[in-house]
Amino acid sequence: MELEVRHLRALCAIADSGSVRKAARQLGMTQPSLTTQLHRIEKALGGQLFFREPTGSRPTPLGHTVLCRARPIVAEMRALIDEVASGPHRDRSTRLHIGSTNSPAVAGWLRRLRVRLPDTDTTIRTDVSANALLHMVATGQLDAAFVHEVEGAPLRVPDGLVEHELIAREPQFIAVVDTHPAAARTVIRVADLADDQWMVDPTVDGEWAGLRRIWAAAGINPRVVHGDYLTTVDLVTAGEVVTPCQP
């Protein structure tokens, strides 16, 4: 089997959505079709790319390696398609391509850009990987990117980029169900959640390494499941997991 961009796009969709079922819906496929395609890709690459768990699918070490190569390819192909579709008649100077990791600040940032640049066609691309977005800025696919960096896990900033630090240090919150014993406290110590099951998105650059460092400092080794933060809310609400979250 010869891998094509559509196969790489399927792998990225599974990783980003956290499940084959959700990825199939995004790609306009049936779940059995995508499952069959995934098995063929794994056979071609000679190894399992995702762990299948009750909470969804998470990349194996081989899967992480493949995704690191696949994401830039998929991103560049998408950018190429967008650029061709825009037509040569569009004036590049009136367009602004921005990227961002998921953040509550994005909506306000985008709104202020539209107010300050009303005649500019502003488009936004979101990605869980800050490093992937920085690569897109360096290669000219994006004009600017709004990213965050986990303490102790510096991003790989390509040469030639200009950085502007907007917030030097931002606190990390922890989401728990409202009936959790710790929910009524003003401050929750990490050690108080040693017996809880944590959900972590390993595709967020630096997140996994940062949390392991925090757990080690607190002297705990909690149970961990992997998933994407967009679908974690339901599990937190059900009392199944606790998870880091933005303020």
Q: What is the CATH number of the domain that holds 108?
A: 3.40.190.10
State residue 179's pLDDT score: 93
Report whether pLDDT(26) > 70.
Answer: yes
Report whether pLDDT(91) > 70.
Answer: no
Query: Which of 168, 198, 219 lies at the terminal end of a domain, its last residue?
Result: 168
Report whether pLDDT(24) > 70.
Answer: yes
Query: At 57, which helix (H) or strand (E)?
Result: strand 56-59
pLDDT band at 89 (very low <50, low <70, confident <90, very high): very low
Domain contains 78: no
State residue 85's pLDDT score: 61
What does the alpha-carbon distance between residue 185 and residue 179 come to, in Å, rounded to a whole number?
12
Domain contains 77: no
Domain contains 157: yes
State residue 177's pLDDT score: 93
Q: For the chain, how many structural domains are there in total? A: 3
Q: What is the mean pLDDT of residues 162-169?
A: 84
Query: Which of 112, 133, 168 lies at the terminal end of a domain, its last residue?
Result: 168
State residue 193's pLDDT score: 94
Percentage above 90 pLDDT, the chain: 26
Query: Which of 146, 168, 190 lies at the terminal end of a domain, its last residue?
Result: 168
What does the alpha-carbon distance between residue 213 and residue 215 come to, in Å, rounded to a whole number?
6
Report whether pLDDT(92) > 70.
Answer: no
Domain contains 86: no
> Which residue did the predictor score with more confidence, 143 or 201?
143
Domain contains 211: yes
3-state secondary structure of 191: helix
What does the alpha-carbon distance between residue 68 and residue 70 come to, in Å, rounded to a whole number?
6
The CATH number assigned to the domain holding 224 equals 3.40.190.290
**For helices 20-27 and 31-45, angle between their N-to-C axes, nearest 10 degrees:** 110
Poorest-confidence range of 72-76, 81-85, 89-93?
A: 89-93
State residue 50's pLDDT score: 93
Task: Tell me: do 148 and 130 sit in the same domain.
Answer: yes
The CATH number assigned to the domain holding 22 equals 1.10.10.10
Q: What is the mean pLDDT of residues 22-37?
A: 87
Task: Tell me: do 125 and 64 sit in the same domain.
Answer: no
State residue 180's pLDDT score: 93
State residue 86's pLDDT score: 61
Domain contains 74: no
- Which single residue is written with the structure tokens 């600040």? 105
Query: At 96, which helix (H) or strand (E)?
Result: strand 95-100
Average of per-residue pLDDT values in the chain: 85
Domain contains 209: yes
Exposure string (b/e) for 84-93, b if CB count within 10 Å is 16 or more?
eeeeeeeeee
Report whether pLDDT(88) > 80.
Answer: no
User: Containing domain of residue 103, as a range?
Assistant: 91-168
Which pTM value belongs to this model? 0.54
Domain contains 81: no
Determine the length of the chain: 247
What order of strands is seen across the sheet that includes strand 95-100? 121-126, 95-100, 144-146
22-28 contacts: CB < 8 A, separation 24 or more? Answer: 22/231
pLDDT band at 218 (very low <50, low <70, confident <90, very high): very high
